[in-house]
Amino acid sequence: MKHVRKGISLSLILILAVVAMLAGCSTSDTSGKADGKWAGKKIKVQMIGDFKDKTATDPITGKKVKGIDVLKEEFEKQHPGATVDFILMPWEGYTEKTQAMITSNEADVYQMPGLADFAPQGVLEPLQPYIDKDKEMDLDKFIDSQVDGWKVLGKDDDKLQIYGLPFLGDARFIAYDKKLFDDWGVEYLSDHPTMKEVAEKAKQMTGKNPKTGKQNYGIWFRGDWSSAFTLIDLAEGQNGKWGEGFAWKDVKFNFNSPEMKKGLDWLLDMKNYAPKGLVSNQGQEKWLTKDNNVAIMMNQGPGDTIKPTYAQGLEDRIGIAQEFKNKDGKGGLFAGSPLAIAKSSKNKDLAWEWIKFATDEFAQKYVFEEVGAIPAIKAAKTWKSTKKMPLMQPVFEAMSSPWTPRYPWGSSQPRFTLTSEVEAALTGKRTAEQALEKAQRESTAWVKNRK
């Protein structure tokens, strides 16, 4: 009898353990509310960045900002019966996390800066059919170049297609400190400066500041992580380009072109007017503080510039000029975050509704006014909130003129090869010519293996 009891208790323990484990592995309920046009429909949306669940204090501005529940409430009001849930994640490691999520069919809609890497996996839904059949979606509402920038190749595509629509905007521009320009008696940068203009002004503002007596540097650019993009923009400013093609089988690099060589020589020259630590992302620590000692900052983005500038009360001091553009007015890295629908989504129609909602004024205003991210639609240019921040206007201009489509190698091995070779040139390990030849050789060999 005792043995039987022991056997039962053993079985019970086993069953409990298995149940506990299965509960951990189980998927959650996919059905939504019972009433309304969208009754029973439910989607999960993955969002990356500074989004918060509930109202919270912004660490930069110190102001209370509304949580993402505002979007949930409005979306569910507009779509009776539907339920939307969010999976929020920080920027750190978002690629790996997105890959893991998409492999396990975790969400219906993804905020996906790495669209060009995920679309070829065949895990995303092409959006053109939805755009074609939905009269409410007008692609003209997006800032120019934003839709084109996100066109990528899917698994079986031979032409660039829309797999994602712009949600968060981004851009690259040149920022500068007007106070240092005034101290040195140098004219502010023009709206579309040339390499020559930037170089001349940087040289004039390096040394002991005539007003404060403190050491000033004419220029700073990141010599490591994003240096490849800074260099490519320099080539674009001379009507050069990184190469051509989008699918790996068609890609041909042009890293050793005369424009690239001239661009790298320009960076090597500018290094003499910059703080010592630029190759290790150092030397710009005082930027956007009252003690700033760098006059011109290359390859800056709105996320790190706009909100901190206004939060620090430096709006009268900071100026924005466009990056170097080619004869067609195009140049600089295309960046941002589009929204994409997972192929595995069970509620694709509702997912599409979310994309429409998230790219409309209500959500885009929330993105800018509460989260401090950059909207991607033209209407944003005339909002009261953006007009109160005049620095946003050159940002919108920069968003409308980057190089499109996004560099297909932007997060692949050629980017790291080129970055490492720019670093090698900047640290004197190789000449500009040797560095670019090596980058060209290694990137070409790499892409050959991908074909």
Partner 1 sequence: MANNSIELNVQMEVEKVRNKRKDWGLKWYVFLIPSFLGILLFMVYPIFESLRLSFYQSNGTVEHFIGLANFKSVLSSNSFWNAVWNTFFIGIFQIIITIPLGFIFASIINSTKRGQNFFKVLYFLPNVTSIVAAAMIFAFVLHPEMGIVNYVLHAIGLPAPGWLSDPSTSKWAVIILAVWHWIGFVIIICLANLQAIPSEMYEAAKIDGASGLQQWFFITIPNMAGTFAFLLITGWIGALQRFNEVYVLGGPNGSPARSIQTMGAFIYERGFTGFEFGIASAATYIMFILILVFTFINLKVSKMKI
Contact residues for partner 1, defined by CB under 8 A:
6, 10, 13-14, 17, 21, 93, 95-96, 99, 102-103, 117, 120-123, 155, 223-225, 275-280, 282-283, 285, 411-413, 416, 419-421, 423-424, 426-427, 429, 442, 449
Max Cα-Cα span within the chain: 99
Least CB distance from residue 277 to partner 1, whole Å?
A: 5
- If the CB atoms of residues 26 and 449 are measured against partner 1, the closer one turns out to be 449
Q: Taking a C-beta distance cutoff of 8 angstroms, is the pair 271, 426 a contact?
A: yes
Radius of gyration of the chain from Cα atoms? Answer: 25
- If the CB atoms of residues 180 and 392 are measured against partner 1, the closer one turns out to be 180
φ, ψ for residue 186, nearest 5 deg: -105, 140
Least CB distance from residue 318 to partner 1, whole Å?
A: 22
Least CB distance from residue 219 to partner 1, whole Å?
A: 16
- If the CB atoms of residues 7 and 210 are measured against partner 1, the closer one turns out to be 7
- If the CB atoms of residues 6 and 252 are measured against partner 1, the closer one turns out to be 6
Least CB distance from residue 35 to partner 1, whole Å?
A: 38
Q: Give dist(CA 244, CA 242) in Å, integer.
A: 7
Least CB distance from residue 424 to partner 1, whole Å?
A: 4
Long-range contacts of 69-77 (CB under 8 A, 24+ apart): 70/366, 70/370, 71/357, 71/358, 71/363, 71/366, 74/357, 74/362, 74/363, 75/353, 75/354, 75/357
Least CB distance from residue 422 to partner 1, whole Å?
A: 9
- If the CB atoms of residues 55 and 103 are measured against partner 1, the closer one turns out to be 103
* Tokens describing residue 394: 């050159």
- If the CB atoms of residues 50 and 421 are measured against partner 1, the closer one turns out to be 421
Helix, strand, or coil (residue 349): helix
Task: Centre a 10 Å sphere on the Cβ of residue 332 and count the other Cβ atoms it contains.
Answer: 25
- The CA-based dihedral angle spanning residues 258, 263, 264, 267, taken in that order and rounded to the nearest 10 degrees: 160
